[in-house]
Amino acid sequence: MDFFQNQEALTTVEWTLRAVTAFLFLVIVAKVMGQRTISQLRLLDFVMALVIGNIIAHPLSDPHLGLKGSIVTTSVLVILYLGGILMTLKWPGFRKWMNHQPITLIRDGVILYKGLKKARISIDVLLEELREEKIEDVTKVALAIWEADGKLSVFLDPKYQPLTPSSSTETGVFSLPKIIIKERKINFKELARIHKDEQWLISQLKHYQTDVKNVLLATYDGKGNLKFFLYK
């Protein structure tokens, strides 16, 4: 496999073999890295995309560079990447450091300039994102959040939401469900905001014959509904 090694020049067949090998290798790398990398380009994913693209591109255009070194380097980087993903799943502190927290841009029809500044986007970008969601009036928005993956999540005021068979003629105040348990950890700040305490939460879980250590996620909405999802 001479096309793997650095040479003064490569034949057309060797260039073709090098390109095919690199393509198949990148397909395997993408498969190993998982669907998350393709659908959600976050900080760790973005860094990996830049580095891998740069490493593989050079031997595909320069015969003096061997392909073997690029493949070995990329393989090591993929192992480090998977280790980083595992760390974000296991340690919330590391996950918080790696992934930006969601930023509120609009609340109750009011644009929050501090949020725009923190997200580093302009009014024009915000309005463009709203137009893509078919929203022409900012005052119709109850809540707009800039997510960690660079996407805008928009929630309309209930009175502007389209009617469905399950809709009521009465409209209430929009309220995003509060996360009160995440990965076995109680969010005491959110509990205080809904005027509840730890004893209330524990008693609610006991009613369903479970406890905090079994809860993956628990939310509390504006209608007083507690929903939780257990580890499976």
pLDDT band at 188 (very low <50, low <70, confident <90, very high): very high
CATH topology of domain 178-230: CRO Repressor (3.30.240)
94 or 113: whose pLDDT is higher? Answer: 113
pTM of the model: 0.50
Q: What is the mean pLDDT of residues 45-56?
A: 75
How far apart CA 126 and CA 130 sit, in angstroms, is 6
Q: Do 103-160 and 178-230 agree at the fold level?
A: yes
Cβ atoms within 10 Å, residue 36? 13
DSSP 3-state assignment of 178? strand
**Per residue in 86-112, pLDDT tens?**
887 788 777 777 667 889 998 988 888
Query: CA of 97: how far to CAs of 121, 124, 136, 190, in Å?
Result: 21, 29, 35, 21
The mean predicted confidence, pLDDT, of the chain is: 78
Q: What is the mean pLDDT of residues 1-30?
A: 70
Question: Domains of the chain: which residue ranges?
Answer: 2-95, 103-160, 178-230
How are strands ordered across the β-sheet holding 226-230? 185-186, 178-182, 215-220, 226-230
CATH code for residues 103-160: 3.30.240.20
227 phi/psi in degrees, rounded to 5: -125, 135
**Per residue in 160-173, pLDDT tens?**
776 655 555 555 56
Q: Is the dihedral of CA 156, 161, 162, 166 positive or negative?
A: positive
32 or 138: whose pLDDT is higher? Answer: 138
